[in-house]
Structure 1
Amino acid sequence: MRIKDFLNASDASIHRQTKWIKRFLETYWVVIALHLAAQLFSYFFLPYEIEAGAFYYKVLAGPTLLMGGTVAAAQLVDRYAARYSFISMFTAGTFVSMVIIHLNMDVRIIGAVMLLPIMASAIFFRLDLTMYTAALQIAAFCILYNWDYRFKAFLNPFDLVSIPLFILVGTLVAGIIIVNGRELLHDLETTMTAKQDLMAENALILKISRTDALTGLFNHMSFHEFYEKALEYGELGVPFHLALLDIDNFKGVNDKFGHRAGDLVLSRVAYTIQENIPSTDIAARYGGEEFAVLLFEPTFEEALGLMERVRTAFSETRHAELGGLAVTVSIGLKSFEKGMTKERLFEDTDALLYAAKRAGRNKVITPLQKVDEGSVAL
């Protein structure tokens, strides 16, 4: 691995792994503290052939300060030069390992400490990082062997072969972990992408099944689902109102101007309704040229005002497809009262709609209004 390639690693990738770098650096402090505690325990409770002064200076204070200074330097690099965080982190870890090996070389398996940084690097799923860490361990072994005479004297010919071999094997194992981990992540990403696509398709299918293709409003089936839920809330004291709208003389529009023009009129009625009612209200194309609206305004007067606004806005809309003519709608409006069945509320509102038709069309009729044929007592 080339250091240049390592330094060119993506800043975004480094940023994603910042928390793990900080955790590793914090772990180094734990290792230093545990090593300090182990040395004190060994000195006081195990045979330890060294004078107190030499112990506190050469074994305890000096090495601990060196290791702590190295870790502190790595933390400064992580804070002020984050691009070099990986290099500083594993360099500091290697130096800590060297010091621990130097102080505990009489422990036969202490050389295995060199495997720990290599295995730790695998957590980042980066082969370049593992190769860099492995190279650090080889360099550390060579430094200890050539410049630490006590370490060199302690090693036997088997150690000279086994320790580099262990480092090599550890690197291979870490590499296998990384490759398998990347494959698992790829499979997981593929699965998640497929799941997201499926969810999007299901959402689209659900939307299509619940809405009218021409107007974009809820369809007949969806309206009844909302209608039944509104009745449940109505029995609990939540006010709501039902409005039924029907386009006046729509058959004449289709017969004279064609079904294409009729479809455009239907779409504009739907648009007018949506533009004039709150997003919390439910508008649906109930069938043909008839629309149903569930209004959840606190008062009947507010609901009536909305329906008048819809009626007025549409009556003032001119249609180029109809030679500049306007089309009107008739509306029946009634509020829900506790104990009222869904059939009764719908039938009463439908009767109001037809009363508006009989009264001359382009009207909003409610139970409180009078029409030419007499009072509408519902």
Structure 2
Amino acid sequence: MITNLTNSETTWARKIWISYWYIIGVQLLAQLFSYLFLPYDAQVVEFYYYVLLFPTLKMSATVGLAWIVNKYFRKYSFHTLVVAGTILAILIIRLNTDIRIISALFLLPILVSVIFYRSRLTFFSAILQLLGFILLYIGDESYRSHLSDFDLVAIPCFIGACTLLAINIMSRGRELQEALLKTMTAKQELMIQYAIMRKQAQIDSLTHLYNQASFYEHFDMALTYSGERSSSFFLALLDIDNFKTINDTFGHLIGDVVLSRVAQIIKETISSNDIAARYGGEEFALLLFETDVARAIKLVETIRTTLSSTKHEEMGGKVVTISIGITSYEPGMSKETLFEKADKKLYKAKNSGKNRTVT
């Protein structure tokens, strides 16, 4: 038994209930139009009471009662829809027994079941239509009189064939659904792989900071943004002092440890809005945003002093220092000019004793 409906199924169930009311309205208008504008063999009282009013009330009561059951007994929602559709079809068929094709209305509940892609519901609907046909044939002489011997065989066969077709349609729909799901899953995997590859292309594998190419992308965006808004940012270049000596004395593996440790200190110090990159071998570049001169200098000084007080066990407890050059962007300044200014300050820091910041 179905106990829970998805949001989509609830929406479609509501649409079907509305469709039932629409069918009742169309049936009423069609009967009225036929009586007023086409040859119609019925007296006024007979038509309005027994053709128009009473059948419409029965149909409305059927749909209304079924809707109440559906509202308070949600686990029977689909079955209530099918039963209501079956009764609605029988009432309309009884009212129009002289129309041979009217028996096709037995397909209405079967079509309803197909919408929800539930095979058991479709079989239930088909059995209900066959029972409805048999009861209508036995209990309604007018309907029976309009059927030929061929109809007695054709209508049940027609219901069975349409049920089989409905099952095939649902099977095909499930295949398409599975194929679509596989395609979407494959697309998501490709997107994830692309994101991973793009990140790998942007990140330096040793320090896990941005690489030089990615740094220039952010540098260009920063220049464009600041140029359009006449705002400022800071460019800082950091270089590990005597790094060649470290490699020559302790080996390149220890040199890599030092690079990683410097990068970690940088990451722990800057804000989430700032950009840090490994610009070259032992050189790093920072783009500092949303700050003023004093805070920018304090930030890079924090990096420098933290590193200079960090002892490296791999080097026998020795410390490593860095030199820093920092400058601010001014509206109209080119990328080359800004970088050259920062590079000159770094060069000055190196030549004036190292382990210092020049601004």
Give your verdict on TM over 0.5. Answer: yes
Shift of 1:14: 4.3
In 2, distance between residues paired with 1:37 and 1:324? Answer: 96
Which aligned pairs between 1:30-179 and structure 2 lie closer than 5 A? 30-179=22-171
Q: Say whether the 8 Å CA contact 2:85–2:108 is kept in structure 1.
A: no
The runs of 5 or more residues in structure 1 that have no matched partner are 1-6, 367-378
In 1, distance between residues paired with 2:20 and 2:301? Answer: 74
In 2, distance between residues paired with 1:197 and 1:184? Answer: 20
- Higher mean C-alpha displacement, 196-205 vs 266-275: 266-275
Deviations 1:169-222 (A, max 9, x none): 111221221111111111111111111111111111111111101111110111
- State the partner residue of 1:344: 337
Which aligned pairs between 1:203-242 and structure 2 lie closer than 5 A? 203-236=195-228, 237-242=230-235
Partner SS state of residue 291, structure 1: strand
Q: Which amino acid aligns with 1:257?
A: F
Provide closer, same or farther for how the CA distance between residues 312 and 65 of structure 1 changes in structure 2, counting only shifts above 3 A: farther
- Higher mean C-alpha displacement, 92-101 vs 46-55: 46-55
In 2, distance between residues paired with 1:289 and 1:219? Answer: 12
Q: Say whether the 8 Å CA contact 1:119–1:170 is kept in structure 2.
A: no
Matched, 1:243 2:217: no
Matched, 1:331 2:324: yes
Q: Which amino acid aligns with 1:252?
A: T
Q: Which amino acid aligns with 2:300?
A: M
TM-score (norm 1): 0.88
Shift of 1:137: 1.0
TM-score (norm 2): 0.93
- Higher mean C-alpha displacement, 169-178 vs 17-26: 169-178
Which aligned pairs between 1:168-317 and structure 2 lie closer than 5 A? 168-236=160-228, 237-317=230-310
Q: Say whether the 8 Å CA contact 1:42–1:48 is kept in structure 2.
A: yes
Q: Say whether the 8 Å CA contact 1:115–1:166 is kept in structure 2.
A: no
Q: Which amino acid aligns with 2:185?
A: T
Q: Which amino acid aligns with 1:213?
A: S
In 2, distance between residues paired with 1:83 and 1:362? Answer: 75
Partner SS state of residue 265, structure 1: helix
- State the partner residue of 2:350: 357
Deviations 1:92-129 (A, max 9, x none): 11111111001011111100111232233222222222
Deviations 1:213-265 (A, max 9, x none): 11111101111122122222232213121100112232333333333332222
Provide closer, same or farther for how the CA distance between residues 271 and 100 of structure 1 changes in structure 2, counting only shifts above 3 A: same
Shift of 1:15: 4.3
In 1, distance between residues paired with 2:117 and 2:220? Answer: 54
Shift of 1:268: 2.1
In 1, distance between residues paired with 2:255 and 2:234? Answer: 28
Partner SS state of residue 307, structure 1: helix
Deviations 1:281-323 (A, max 9, x none): 2111001111001112242233222222222333333333333
Deviations 1:136-172 (A, max 9, x none): 2111111111222222222111111111111111112
In 2, distance between residues paired with 1:300 and 1:241? Answer: 8
Query: Identity of paired residues, percent?
Result: 50
